[in-house]
């Protein structure tokens, strides 16, 4: 059977791998000039390894992607360092990523430590997510952790992640983050692009056709059966099609979808992302230890916060800088609403705004430490799961026979990420294989 896949991100490539293994023909349409989607990378001429456009790592519990890595012969290229995650408290960088560090956290007394540990253990070792999606994270966290812990830790994180939607996100989303995450973080020799390149190579070796710089423009159902794809002005017909783009893009490409399904797609909320990546001549964070620094955000109007981004990630406190020509790599990242000015500003306009804030992390910082900078952004980067979100997730099989949809908005209650991109891509492929068998019989 002939299958089209729209999008050559991790979900699309994973689905293609399974469909090809089952003997189906697969053609992939990708709008950009490389595969990998949000996990794709870039490489400066001075580096031996690629670097992700949007900071990435795996957790030791990420079974879906670890399993695929093993299948394609890359298990020996995946390793798990144990970096440090810190927070800013009282204008100081404080490690906050283990029970010992919770106990010694200067913002907590013994009662706070006990409460933080007990509630976190409940979320870590139980699975009540269907009840938790009926309440907001804002109300649940405040009730069970208490005002002090909530205001110190969770509220700033929710604001940073979801901006004006921070008090609407359901608690199941927070549960999923705490339930499966591990202190050891996985990374690939050569960067995530090495994994993407290997998976792409396996897909093409199995006979898959990957069309880059070829955005799908229109998806229609043929009267006699099948799905017609128009891409780069050329029409082709397939027995089935899997779309792995954003819900809004699927709605735009496929206006023939019934109104109720279109409504589901368009009702899904999401945040965009902007990341400024800096190659520095010196280390930024003075402790030379912290990989991930959570930055406090006090106002849902992010323009009112002291620092103009959500997270500062010093990648070379996690991965040795020898792979990047001796550069100290720093990400300045933020989640923003799809209409935020950051999505339209040039690198030259945004760089001074972000760089001006770096002296708050290191008073010795000077702008001439910056050797080079890059700017990456996406309008669709973080789904916003509202109350009872499971009832509003679009089905993998759309109402149009032969047309399927798999996106990060459907991995709920889990958070978006490469592991769940693999999981939903392979789940969609299995669903499609079963449907194609029915067609053949």
Please say if the pLDDT value at position 391 is more than 90.
Answer: yes
Does 78 map to a domain? no
Closest CA to 192 of 67, 39, 360: 39
Q: Rounded CA gap, 302 and 68, in Å?
A: 38
On whether both 106 and 127 belong to a single domain, the answer is yes
Determine the 3-state secondary structure of 227 from DSSP: strand
Does 182 map to a domain? no
Residues 6+ apart with CB under 8 A from 76: none
Question: Hunting for tokens 């109300």 — which residue is that?
Answer: 139
Please say if the pLDDT value at position 242 is more than 60.
Answer: yes
Which of the four pLDDT bands, split at 50, 70 and 90, describes residue 234?
Answer: very high
Does 111 map to a domain? yes
Does 83 map to a domain? no
Q: Rounded CA gap, 355 and 181, in Å?
A: 31
More confident residue, 303 or 62: 62
**Across 272-292, average pLDDT:** 95
Which of the four pLDDT bands, split at 50, 70 and 90, describes residue 180?
Answer: confident
pLDDT by residue (tens digit) across 401-424? 999 999 999 999 998 899 999 999
CATH of the domain at 203: 3.50.50.60
Determine the 3-state secondary structure of 11 from DSSP: helix
On whether both 195 and 173 belong to a single domain, the answer is no
Domain final position from 144, 177, 210: 177
C-alpha 83, offset from chain centre: 19
Q: Rounded CA gap, 171 and 141, in Å?
A: 8
On whether both 173 and 35 belong to a single domain, the answer is no
**Percentage of the chain exceeding pLDDT 70:** 99
On whether both 205 and 173 belong to a single domain, the answer is no
Closest CA to 438 of 402, 406, 405, 395: 402
On whether both 63 and 102 belong to a single domain, the answer is no
Does 6 map to a domain? yes
Query: Is the CB of residue 336 less than 8 Å from the CB of residue 342?
Result: yes
Please say if the pLDDT value at position 51 is more than 90.
Answer: yes
β-pair type (185-188, 78-79) = antiparallel
On whether both 173 and 203 belong to a single domain, the answer is no
Q: Rounded CA gap, 143 and 267, in Å?
A: 29
Domain final position from 177, 205, 238: 177
Question: Hunting for tokens 């992939």 — which residue is that?
Answer: 28
Query: Model pTM?
Result: 0.94
Determine the 3-state secondary structure of 299 from DSSP: coil
What are the b/e assignments for 169-182, b being 16+ CB within 10 Å? Answer: bbbbbbbbeebbee
**Domain count across the chain:** 2
On whether both 149 and 201 belong to a single domain, the answer is no
On whether both 34 and 65 belong to a single domain, the answer is yes
What six digits make up the tokens of 394? 């679009």
Which of the four pLDDT bands, split at 50, 70 and 90, describes residue 252?
Answer: very high
On whether both 108 and 56 belong to a single domain, the answer is no
Does 19 map to a domain? yes
pLDDT by residue (tens digit) across 74-125? 999 999 999 999 999 988 999 999 888 989 999 999 999 999 999 999 999 9
Does 27 map to a domain? yes
Does 357 map to a domain? no
Q: Rounded CA gap, 155 and 158, in Å?
A: 5
Domain range spanning residue 125?
Answer: 98-159+169-177
On whether both 173 and 207 belong to a single domain, the answer is no
Residues 6+ apart with CB under 8 A from 394: 247, 261, 264, 265, 268, 405, 409, 410
Q: Which of 24-33, 231-240, 243-252, 303-312 has the lowest mean pLDDT?
A: 303-312
What are the b/e assignments for 223-236, b being 16+ CB within 10 Å? Answer: eeebbbbebeeeee
| Cα within 13 Å of Cα(66), Cβ side | 13
On whether both 107 and 150 belong to a single domain, the answer is yes
| Cα within 13 Å of Cα(261), Cβ side | 18
Please say if the pLDDT value at position 363 is more than 80.
Answer: yes
On whether both 202 and 247 belong to a single domain, the answer is yes
């Amino acid at each position: 059977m002939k299958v089209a896949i729209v999008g050559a991100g991790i979900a699309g490539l994973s689905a293609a791998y399974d469909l090809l293994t089952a003997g189906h023909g697969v053609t992939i349409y990708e709008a950009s000039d490389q595969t990998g989607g949000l996990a794709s990378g870039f490489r400066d001429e001075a580096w031996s390894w690629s670097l992700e456009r949007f900071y990435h790592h795996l957790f030791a519990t990420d079974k879906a992607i670890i399993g695929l890595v093993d299948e394609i012969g890359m298990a020996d290229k995946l390793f798990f360092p144990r970096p440090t995650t810190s927070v800013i408290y009282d204008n100081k960088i404080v490690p906050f990523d283990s029970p010992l560090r919770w106990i010694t956290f200067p913002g907590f007394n013994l009662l706070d430590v006990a409460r933080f540990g007990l509630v976190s253990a409940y979320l870590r070792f139980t699975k009540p997510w269907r009840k938790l999606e009926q309440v907001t994270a804002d109300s649940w966290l405040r009730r069970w952790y208490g005002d002090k812990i909530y205001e110190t830790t969770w509220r700033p994180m929710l604001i940073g992640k979801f901006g004006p939607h921070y008090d609407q996100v359901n608690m199941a989303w927070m549960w999923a983050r705490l339930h499966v995450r591990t202190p050891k973080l996985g990374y690939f020799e050569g960067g995530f692009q090495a994994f993407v390149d290997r998976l792409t190579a396996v897909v093409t070796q199995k006979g898959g056709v990957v069309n880059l710089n070829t955005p799908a423009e229109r998806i229609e159902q043929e009267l006699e059966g099948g799905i017609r794809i128009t891409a780069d002005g050329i029409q082709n017909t397939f027995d089935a099609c899997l779309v792995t783009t954003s819900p809004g893009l699927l709605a735009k490409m496929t206006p023939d979808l019934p109104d109720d399904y279109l409504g589901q797609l368009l009702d899904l909320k999401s945040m965009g992302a902007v990341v400024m990546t800096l190659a520095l001549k010196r280390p930024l964070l003075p402790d030379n230890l912290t990989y991930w620094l959570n930055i406090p955000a006090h106002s849902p109007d992010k323009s009112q916060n002291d620092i103009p981004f959500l997270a500062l990630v010093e990648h070379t406190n996690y991965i040795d800088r020898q792979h990047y020509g001796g550069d100290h790599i720093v990400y300045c990242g933020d989640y923003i609403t799809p209409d935020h000015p950051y999505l339209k500003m040039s690198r030259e306009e945004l760089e001074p705004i972000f760089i001006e804030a770096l002296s708050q992390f290191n008073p010795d910082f000077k702008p001439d430490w910056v050797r080079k900078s890059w700017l990456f952004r996406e309008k669709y980067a973080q789904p916003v799961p509202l109350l009872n979100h499971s009832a509003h997730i679009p089905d993998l099989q759309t109402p149009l026979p032969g047309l399927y949809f798999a996106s990060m908005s459907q991995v709920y209650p889990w958070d978006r990420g490469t592991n769940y991109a693999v999981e939903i891509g392979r789940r969609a492929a299995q669903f499609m294989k079963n449907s194609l068998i029915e067609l053949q019989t």
